[in-house]
Structure 1
Amino acid sequence: MSARSERITKAYLAGCEEADSPLRHARESLELSETKRRSWPRLLPRPVVVDEAEYRAFGRDLVTVYELVGSLPRRLFDGDFDRFRRSLGIDDRHAALMTRLLGEEPPPLYGRADVYYDGSAFKLLEYNIGSALGGLDMVGTLPKAYLRVPAVAEFAAEHGLGFLDMGSDLAEALRNAGKTIGAGEPVVAIVEGPGGMTTYGHQRRAIAELLEENDVVCRVGEIGDLEFRSGKPYLDGARVDVILRYYGLEEMLEHPDCDALLEPVFRAHENGQVVVWTPTNVFSNKGTLAMLSEFVDAFEPAERAAIERVLPWCRMLGRPGAGPDAGRIDECLERQDQLVYKPTGLYGGQGVVIGPEVDAATWRETLEAGSRTGSLVQEIVRPNLETVIDPETGARSEWYALWAAFMTPSGLSGGGVRAIPPGGTTVITMINNPDVRNTCLFTC
């Protein structure tokens, strides 16, 4: 972190030293709706401060990486998209659904970069390119809620703190999407997969609240709740102009009515009756980053520089149906203490194995199995630590921080942090890990 952000963080912590300090208890003073509290029930006791110039410079590199990922079929495969997706291990069935709405140009910039700060620079671990982004409601809500706490507002004014307005940027992006089909003020439907509202309903409603605070009319439901009148989708009796897609491909493929549920949505998008935001997640496959790393010399000098600034060394380990790559496995066995293993098509930390956290036999088994199913290996980046003061006890502790940088067509649009106390695994994910806490960013 910059000297400025470190100095401000130390000042905030100093303001939390006294037991009755309003800063120390700011989290408990947050004014949040019940929906938002249910969406993010486990919050870190304080926000995190980041140097805006440093963060925005990283955001510009993220835009470059996004553009390069979208150019991979042309740059590395002579424009042959089938060769590109097969090299990522994407089979015909998945590809048919992933690319049904994919035009000649890559989808609009929209995604979440998962990032570590290694002590000197931000490093990109994964780039979730597509619409089903977790955390944006928290990123768009918490900074404003913190600034309604008088002690935080006073501190922010004294130190010149601001924030990136994710809610405003997302609202603008969805309005612009609606304009492409002639919808002046679009109705946005946040659409889950079958049964998804049972698990994620409170989070989707929190996103709707965020958008409604930015004057966007929203409806929330499952894909099976959509009704089609002359091809136009309706939800809860209201026409739908833009679908913010939260139905995942894997969950759809597991449903017996997959094609029947998806086909009318596809047709409505193709006929200009609705905009599916975004139309594909094919570029979210983790293997795309391995391609950038392995074939970095195929890019122009400025592009190579951006890749090398933000992307750790990573390589594809294998793809479905392929036999083990003995040479690559041997290399990974030698570098076990330096590498992390990741399945290319999973999310939320599923299947991730940290080399130093397992024994040699488990590491070898993981590599050999992964070489047949689609996976990559990536050089480990050590996360920075954020100091936290417990509001109840005053005890200080250090937490590993996983940063999230949210991107919209306007560029870097917001950020947050997921954090976990040291001592267990360094895989920081909300799935089945009750120790993870979340917070927002203030810029300085």
Structure 2
Amino acid sequence: MADKDFRSQFGLLDWEEELVQYSPGFRDPSPTSRVDTFFVTERGGLRLTEYNADTPASPAYNDALSEMTYGLPVMREFLRRYEVRPLPARHSVLHTLIDAYQQWGNSHKAPRIAILDWREVPSFSEFVLFAEYFKSQGLECIITDPREVEYTNGRLVAGDFHITLIYKRVLISELIERGGMNHPVVRAVRDGAVCMVNPFRCKILHKKASLAVLSDERNAKLFNAAEREAIAAHIPWTCRVENRQAQYHDQTIDLIPFILKHRENLVLKPNDEYGGRGVVLGWQSDTSSWEQTILTALNEPYIVQERVAIPTEPYPIMIDGQVQFIDQMLDTNPLVFYGDYVDGCLSRLSSEALLNVSAGTGSAAATYIVEKR
């Protein structure tokens, strides 16, 4: 990542280039993350379509939903026949925060945690769940808005609370857009006055172009044979939208004409958005809107990605007081820690091809490992 030419493939903006130079004080650029995948049974594995490395939501929701579902009357009979094991995640978030904090340089003092995001975000209730959990583990914790913090005399504070560890849930792009590069959090992190997880360096891998970097034939030499095999098995073909030739599997293509011609099999995505914003599914678009999106993609950072088969399963849904089994599309999104192991999994169901809870096109379901007794 020290190679600026290589880093340019990720499509970082100038201000992002500046921020990623700040040392977070710990090793991993994305200690907590989430991979958004589809379990495609005919291929026998996961197809990874996005990597959420900036502000991965859902660990506390995952735990609360699992606990609530355990108590439903239907589980009473189900548990007699099946062993049902939840996949908790809050503890791994806590361990990750503490580990980063100790690497940062405070191995003896307990952190004073601030969960940082805008008060009005729809995920605020998850912050409440996390704050309750952190306090139950004997830690001091507040939920605070970026507009409420100050940086004075080398201390980041919210009111009279001295913050030493930020659990960052605010999107970096929104923090800079609304607060600027001189925001108290930016200055405190730059000066090493506070530990922040995830750090600014997470922006590199969070870019949707990170999957294009893996797919790009020009980078094949960076990976060994086993890694190239894993990329081919789990990453759908992904490419930065540019007016150039590219490799599509075993053929060389003129990229823009190819995108125009193969709309039914492609998706266009902004390089750095969330909640499904700006994502255009070619098979749900008409020719005119597809062409317009391509024009936008030539002027702003975008990626094009090969369509992935979306699995469907029947799920019980209450309609007009009656339970009906209706086919729902589903994705499987493991929560990843240190880029190394998984604890917890966000599963979303939807009747729409764009599965996203915050976009209003999906709902979360409890995820368990289930085995017959």
Q: Where on the TM-score scale, by shorter chain, does this alignment land: which range?
A: 0.7 to 0.9
Residues 313 and 328 of structure 2 are in contact (CA less than 8 Å); yes or no, is this contact kept in structure 1?
A: yes
Counterpart of 1:69 in structure 2 is: none
Which amino acid is the alignment partner of residue 305 of structure 1? E
Given the superposition, is the C-alpha separation of residues 216 and 160 from structure 1 closer, same or farther in structure 2, using an over 3 Å criterion?
A: farther
Counterpart of 2:289 in structure 1 is: 362
Q: Which stretch has the larger CA shift, 181-190 or 209-218?
A: 209-218
- State the distance in 2 between where 1:173 and 1:104 align: 11
Counterpart of 2:156 in structure 1 is: 233
Given the superposition, is the C-alpha separation of residues 178 and 156 from structure 1 closer, same or farther in structure 2, using an over 3 Å criterion?
A: farther
Name the TM-score, length of structure 2 as normaliser.
0.85
Gaps of 5+ in 1: 1-72, 74-78
Which residue, out of 47, 50, 58, partners 1:126? 50
Which residue, out of 174, 182, 206, partners 1:259? 182
- State the distance in 2 between where 1:198 and 1:127 align: 25
Structure 1 residues 337-356: aligned runs within 5 Å: 337-356=264-283
Query: Given the alignment of the two structures, is residue 290 of structure 1 paired with residue 212 of structure 2, yes or no?
Result: yes
Cα deviations by residue, 1:185-214 (Å, 9 ceiling, x for unpaired):
32221011xxx1123433322332344455
Counterpart of 1:86 in structure 2 is: 8
Which residue, out of 333, 344, 368, partners 1:414? 344
Query: Given the alignment of the two structures, is residue 276 of structure 1 paired with residue 202 of structure 2, yes or no?
Result: no
- State the distance in 2 between where 1:303 and 1:440 align: 32
Which residue, out of 222, 237, 245, partners 2:168? 245
- State the distance in 2 between where 1:227 and 1:256 align: 12
- State the distance in 1 between where 2:26 and 2:136 align: 34
What number of residue pairs does the alignment pair up?
351
Shift of 1:106: 4.5
- Normalized per residue, the structure richer in strand is 2
Counterpart of 2:249 in structure 1 is: none
Which amino acid is the alignment partner of residue 16 of structure 2? H
Counterpart of 1:11 in structure 2 is: none
Shift of 1:91: 2.4
Query: Given the alignment of the two structures, is residue 333 of structure 1 paired with residue 257 of structure 2, yes or no?
Result: no
Cα deviations by residue, 1:341-380 (Å, 9 ceiling, x for unpaired):
1111112111111111112232222123202211111111
Residues 346 and 364 of structure 2 are in contact (CA less than 8 Å); yes or no, is this contact kept in structure 1?
A: yes
Given the superposition, is the C-alpha separation of residues 161 and 215 from structure 1 closer, same or farther in structure 2, using an over 3 Å criterion?
A: farther
Counterpart of 1:40 in structure 2 is: none
Secondary structure at the counterpart of residue 366 of structure 2? strand
Two-structure CA RMSD over aligned residues (Å):
2.6
Residues 183 and 241 of structure 1 are in contact (CA less than 8 Å); yes or no, is this contact kept in structure 2?
A: no
Percent identity between matched residues is 20
Cα deviations by residue, 1:85-114 (Å, 9 ceiling, x for unpaired):
333332222321244235795514320111
Cα deviations by residue, 1:277-321 (Å, 9 ceiling, x for unpaired):
121222210101011012363210111122122111111113xxx
Given the superposition, is the C-alpha separation of residues 185 and 155 from structure 1 closer, same or farther in structure 2, using an over 3 Å criterion?
A: farther
- State the distance in 2 between where 1:170 and 1:148 align: 24
- State the distance in 2 between where 1:404 and 1:227 align: 36
Secondary structure at the counterpart of residue 430 of structure 1? coil
Counterpart of 2:365 in structure 1 is: 439
Counterpart of 2:34 in structure 1 is: 112
Secondary structure at the counterpart of residue 117 of structure 1? strand
Counterpart of 2:322 in structure 1 is: 393
- Normalized per residue, the structure richer in helix is 1
Q: Which stretch has the larger CA shift, 198-207 or 116-125?
A: 198-207
Residues 404 and 415 of structure 1 are in contact (CA less than 8 Å); yes or no, is this contact kept in structure 2?
A: yes
Given the superposition, is the C-alpha separation of residues 357 and 242 from structure 1 closer, same or farther in structure 2, using an over 3 Å criterion?
A: same
Given the superposition, is the C-alpha separation of residues 416 and 255 from structure 1 closer, same or farther in structure 2, using an over 3 Å criterion?
A: closer
- State the distance in 1 between where 2:84 and 2:93 align: 22
Shift of 1:414: 0.6
